Structure 1
Amino acid sequence: MAEGTTLQNSANETFGKLLARNAANHGSDIVVREKERGIWRESTWADYVDEVLACAAGLEVVGVAPGKAVLILGDNRARLYQGMLAISLLGAYAMPAYPGATLEELQHFLGEVEIVAAFAEDQEQVDKILELRSASASGIAHVIYDETRGLGTYEDDGLMSWDHLIEIGQRELDGDAGRREAILNRAKPEDPAIFMHSSGTTGKPKGIVLSQKNVLAAARNGHAAGAFDENEEILAYLPMAWVGDFAITVGAALLWRFTVNVPERQETVVRDMREIAPTFYLAAPRSWDQMLTTIQVGMENSTPFKKWLYHFFMDRAVAAETRKLNGKSGGALEPLGRFLGEALVFGPIKDQFGMSRLKNAFTGGEAIGEDTFVFYRALGIKLRQLYGQTENSAINAIQAPGEVRLHTVGKPAPGVELKIADDGEILMRSDSVFEGYFNKPEATAEALEDGWLHTGDAGYIEDDGHLVVLGRVSEVMHTAGGERYVPNYIENRLKFSPYIKDAAVLGAGLDELTAMVCVDFEAVGHWAEVNGVPYVSYADLSQRDEVAKLLHEAFLRVNKALTEPLRLQRFVSLPKEFDPDDGEITRTRKLRRKVVQERYADVVAALYDGSKEVHVSAQVTYETGEVGKVEKSLPIREV
């Protein structure tokens, strides 16, 4: 029987047991590659596990123990992943935060659990942790950093390099022959894997502790559903504080022995991805949109012959894929045409963006636009949708390769049960579901009932078992006329336009629906340059009449899919993007609706009182942390 088949039925696995198995049976295989100064540096399972154990022993010396937490702050680094595994071996809480998290956001974490240490990527994150420690007199006694540059003159108490921590831990291991095995076997399946947080769209983020059993169950379910295979090559570029990254880069990678490739920095992800050519790739719709925009911009700037060649093959492939999605047979590209298209157009594009070996490609987090989805399918990337949340370890419903539809997220993965409550809420049950919100019994009682997780999402299951997600139950709203609608559903369809980055739909308790939108500066800026539209800033570009026409077309397209009482009547283009630093969206770019409506109360009023324009003074938080204002008069535009 294959090893993977045995693992399918194993519910007693822990991170420690899997590390020991991989080191013993696959010690010479590559587990991680990390790019440093232009060179990919490789680590085998044997070396990787040795360093994780030394890290765990070192952390134990500095006071990390069950019930205590370690803050993780930085972009993706191999050592930070090793640190999270080491923390889990000790039964403590690994608590990753988004690199851009503000001091206020981090202070909220301090109030939840005792944080005795922190891992920091570099000097910038060390400075943030030291400021946090100073501002709150917290118990972060030790700060361990990866990148040493700029920290040579620091003399703060408890500050140490990763290498120094490993030295401490290695001495501990060398002095006790049984220590290695003891650490590997200490944690139980019910012990913590990761301490994450809800998105916090309606208030302070709630603590979510996923056990090792939860995370590994999700990894088994995902494999059984065909989401990934053994020995995948993946790129670790998603935020480490997002559950999707941990579920794939740590949980699934450990269980199914992936090779994890860590890019040099966020700015080099595209180039590094081309060098690696991963076999598995998960991205939010916004990332797929941005890549598509880059491809289209590149083709528009190409030679006439290349543009003709591109459109000759791509237009036919898109038409064929659209027919498939609509349940119609027949294609415009015969086998020979597909072969030529792959050689001349599709293959070179995939190679340029690191997608030449991609077998399992996914989008998740929110709905994806039809044009984007169809484009990648036409290109030969079998893009699929999946559905998950932090509370259920990210992997729940997945589209099978041959059952792809734009409006569904696929069938429940094996090991996951789904049902729909009387009010339309999606309920689920699985070993991947968490035990409850950290120290919040009332919130836990609302979320978990008789073993079923109340996901908070509205949806329905089609006759053939496919799940359709409509939006948050809490956001199901009604107009003054009693028409039911989900604003997030409409907002996502507005964002299908490459020119709209964010949107807020208004109309609860009112006669009509209207919207505030934020243009996509990169896409609209390029369009303006190509079409000779001058502008000097985001605020200036967002108010141009030429740009308003682009937005108007997007509104008309969305209105065609809505019933007459729910069609959008007016809109305003805001002079700045929604920004997590300003509290308008979460770090995962989910709208904080109450904040936005309060901050733009004058705009909301103007959309309904017959005004032709409205003056706005919008808050802007700069990279330095300073807060400024954008002053602008905004036209109220009719759809």
Structure 2
Amino acid sequence: MESVPALLRRNATQFSSRTAYREKEFGIWQSWTWAETAVEIEAMALGLLDLGLNRGDYVAIIGRNRPALYWSMVAVQMAGGIPVPLYQDAVAEEMAYVLEHCGARFVIVGDQEQVDKVIDAQAGLPGIEQILYLDPRGMRKYDHTRLHLLEDVKNKGRAAKDRLLTQLHTREAELVYDSTCVMLYTSGTTGKPKGVVLSNRNIIEASKSSSEFDDLRLEDEVLAYLPLAWVGDFIFSIGQAYWTGFCVNCPESADTMMTDLREIGPTYFFAPPRVFETLLTSVMIRMEDAGPLKKRMFHGAMARAKKVGPKILDGKPVSGGEKLAYAWDNLTVIGPLKNTLGMSRVRVGYTAGEAIGPEIFDFYRALGINLKQLYGQTEASVFITQQPDSEVRPDTVGVPSPGVELKIGESGEVFYRSPGTFVEYYKNPESTASTKDPEGWVATGDAGFIEEDSGHLRILDRAKDVGKTASGGLFAPKYVENKLKFYPDILEAVVFGNERDYCTAFINIDLSAVGNWAERNNIAYASYQELAGHPAVLASIQNHVEEVNRSVVEDPMLAHCQIARFLVLHKELDADDGELTRTRKVRRRIIEEKFADLIDALYSDKSEQYTETEVTYEDGRKGKISATLQIRDAATLAVSEDRMAAE
């Protein structure tokens, strides 16, 4: 089993009648078995050969999670090409960079919107020869000289089967363990995205070891809703799915994701912290609208569950009374809540991508959801560390995944090597050499340490973001930001303080949570900016900041990271404006440059600051918004000498 197409052939034989994919369309779930999936993929691969796909061609794939687009990735490999999934919400300029960098001749897209983006980019990219699209709606009046309906390509492949099948089998047989499986682009937090080349060995070894680590089974169900271009989705929806044979379910749309999640009831679920934060926010909003009795039941049940739920998950002893109380809470509050969240059947849950707030993590564990943390990178084929059952903690990311070696460099940076370690950065030997040494050790760019007693890895922050305050205290902004984001009305936070006398913060409110509060209190507002500047909102955010300060000061290592001053931004940080990556990670350097006037104001004696900011509208037009922002002082606590000594 040395390639993904080889795993497909095995599954089509051994698990032929098992459901491989489901997709909801027009409100109805459609299913394909492994045998049917193999037939569809082979037809697609033959069609690509008929269009002239050559060995080693890079094929860009853009769209939302749909079985046909997952099939296209495997079909491209089967035909000797290399799939390159892109973020569907990327603007044409971002797509153009990746399409040019990889030299794609073929592009497979989901719908008209993606076709338009590729056509816009195509003007400066003569290398793109063929565009294949899945959804025909709105496409009738386009020039179809080099534009093809994907179903027509499959039909031509079926018609050419007698002529091309031998050639297809030859190309498939040429695939070996070290053949390129996929090329995935990094999120570009600090610069242009890099093309990460991953081999069949990388993907299959990582999928095999991680599946065995968590006892993933043929009967498991996953919901595929994360971006196709993200390495996690590739591992979960192709790597592990093809290794174990479990079923991949594709929701109808982003808007129906929660409904579809409840209908499927996955047993294996992954989400970045942002998703878990959003789900928790929705729960808290609903509880604010509930009656007094329901509120008391909820808060009482959660208080008990936080003590008992994690112990039960970890197999630790609990008293008979605690078991009885938890069973009653599960019947009346916890069970219905898990069902509402679509997590009643989750046997293994993971979060990664960035650190999750410990309060958020504990909330889901209290519900009896086996949520764990993993630490990974695109360059590692996801897995660097994982948390074993019974060793789950919010302050670590677990122990080395099977086959992974860890070490900490002199500067505190985390290094690893494993069978999943990437081959190279495409067309970038300098970055490859600076990231991966001749012995295979990869620099993660993250600062952390390994606990001597448990062997667990603790990540402090990105190595480049960790620093010292002017007084010499450790500065790790992500730790504080995650604590702030636990509050339902805070969507995003960016903390500053490196080599400064004190720490400050930008905060984004969560429009849905704060808007719900405004409606309940008959507060009218016309825009995000107006609501963000409301005195009652600012007072609430200040309370949260001061609560976080009281929490932070209890950690001797990070007591210097208390926030002394903050402001609530007049706009949401947005990937289209370059402030976030497509995976919703903060681009600190860009934010520091773009909002330099606001940072300067935070480190002055000003109580307000006027600012103008360029924004990108949905249709791609640029504009400017202006605002006068209030700057607030937050109460901080003195760092005692005992804490200084402990640090």
- Tell me how far apart the structure 2 counterparts of residues 164 and 120 of structure 1 sit (CA, whole Å): 14
Partner of 1:23: 12
Gaps of 5+ in 2: 635-647
Q: Deviations over 1:415-454 (max 9, x none)?
A: 1111111111111111101012111111111111121111
Change over 3 Å in CA distance of 1:615–1:322 after alignment to 2 = farther
- Tell me how far apart the structure 2 counterparts of residues 507 and 302 of structure 1 sit (CA, whole Å): 40
- Tell me how far apart the structure 2 counterparts of residues 357 and 214 of structure 1 sit (CA, whole Å): 30
Residue pairs, 1:202-351, within 5 angstroms? 202-226=190-214, 228-321=216-309, 334-351=322-339
Aligned counterpart in structure 2 of residue 406 of structure 1, from 394, 402, 425: 394
Change over 3 Å in CA distance of 1:397–1:628 after alignment to 2 = same
Aligned counterpart in structure 2 of residue 150 of structure 1, from 130, 138, 142: 138
8 Å CA contact 2:476–2:561 kept in 1: the answer is no
Q: Deviations over 1:214-253 (max 9, x none)?
A: 1111111212321633331000101111111001001000
Partner of 1:571: 566
- Tell me how far apart the structure 2 counterparts of residues 97 and 426 of structure 1 sit (CA, whole Å): 28
SS of the residue 1:115 aligns to: coil
Partner of 1:103: 92
Aligned counterpart in structure 1 of residue 348 of structure 2, from 341, 350, 360: 360
Change over 3 Å in CA distance of 1:41–1:611 after alignment to 2 = same
Aligned counterpart in structure 2 of residue 491 of structure 1, from 481, 485, 491: 481
- Tell me how far apart the structure 2 counterparts of residues 519 and 306 of structure 1 sit (CA, whole Å): 26
2:564 partner letter = Q
Indicate whether 1:13 and 2:2 are aligned: yes
1:624 partner letter = D
Q: Deviations over 1:148-191 (max 9, x none)?
A: 11112222421111111101222232335534543442311212
Aligned counterpart in structure 2 of residue 597 of structure 1, from 569, 592, 598: 592
1:571 partner letter = F
Bigger shift: residues 548-557 or 316-325: 316-325
2:62 partner letter = L
- Tell me how far apart the structure 2 counterparts of residues 179 and 438 of structure 1 sit (CA, whole Å): 28
- Tell me how far apart the structure 1 counterparts of residues 408 and 314 of structure 2 sit (CA, whole Å): 26
Identity %: 40
Indicate whether 1:391 and 2:386 are aligned: no
- Tell me how far apart the structure 2 counterparts of residues 111 and 177 of structure 1 sit (CA, whole Å): 31
SS of the residue 2:108 aligns to: strand
Cα shift at 1:377:
1.5
1:595 partner letter = I
- Tell me how far apart the structure 1 counterparts of residues 104 and 339 of structure 2 sit (CA, whole Å): 44
2:601 partner letter = A
Indicate whether 1:586 and 2:575 are aligned: no
- Tell me how far apart the structure 1 counterparts of residues 165 and 229 of structure 2 sit (CA, whole Å): 35
Cα shift at 1:195:
1.2
Q: Deviations over 1:77-119 (max 9, x none)?
A: 1110000111122332211111111121112113322211111
Change over 3 Å in CA distance of 1:373–1:185 after alignment to 2 = same
Aligned counterpart in structure 2 of residue 74 of structure 1, from 53, 63, 66: 63
8 Å CA contact 1:64–1:70 kept in 2: the answer is no
SS of the residue 1:422 aligns to: coil
- Tell me how far apart the structure 1 counterparts of residues 497 and 226 of structure 2 sit (CA, whole Å): 34
Indicate whether 1:159 and 2:137 are aligned: no
1:522 partner letter = S
Cα shift at 1:324:
8.7
Aligned counterpart in structure 2 of residue 612 of structure 1, from 582, 607, 613: 607
- Tell me how far apart the structure 1 counterparts of residues 138 and 543 of structure 2 sit (CA, whole Å): 50
- Tell me how far apart the structure 2 counterparts of residues 559 and 126 of structure 1 sit (CA, whole Å): 49
* TM-score normalised according to structure 1 size: 0.94
8 Å CA contact 1:224–1:413 kept in 2: the answer is no
Cα shift at 1:339:
2.3
Cα shift at 1:331:
6.5
Indicate whether 1:541 and 2:531 are aligned: yes
Partner of 1:7: none
Bigger shift: residues 226-235 or 104-113: 226-235
> How many pairs are equivalent?
627
Cα shift at 1:547:
1.2
- Tell me how far apart the structure 2 counterparts of residues 564 and 115 of structure 1 sit (CA, whole Å): 50
- Tell me how far apart the structure 1 counterparts of residues 563 and 543 of structure 2 sit (CA, whole Å): 12
SS of the residue 2:356 aligns to: coil
Aligned counterpart in structure 2 of residue 43 of structure 1, from 32, 35, 46: 32
Aligned counterpart in structure 2 of residue 516 of structure 1, from 500, 503, 506: 506
- CA RMSD of superposed structures (Å): 2.1
* TM-score normalised according to structure 2 size: 0.93
8 Å CA contact 1:227–1:398 kept in 2: the answer is no
8 Å CA contact 2:210–2:401 kept in 1: the answer is yes
- Tell me how far apart the structure 1 counterparts of residues 232 and 559 of structure 2 sit (CA, whole Å): 38
- Tell me how far apart the structure 2 counterparts of residues 127 and 210 of structure 1 sit (CA, whole Å): 29
Partner of 2:418: 430
Bigger shift: residues 178-187 or 287-296: 178-187
Indicate whether 1:373 and 2:361 are aligned: yes
Partner of 1:528: 518
Cα shift at 1:60:
2.1
8 Å CA contact 1:91–1:192 kept in 2: the answer is no
Cα shift at 1:17:
1.3
Indicate whether 1:638 and 2:626 are aligned: no
1:206 partner letter = K
Cα shift at 1:328:
9.9
- Tell me how far apart the structure 1 counterparts of residues 610 and 320 of structure 2 sit (CA, whole Å): 52
Cα shift at 1:321:
4.5
8 Å CA contact 1:210–1:434 kept in 2: the answer is yes
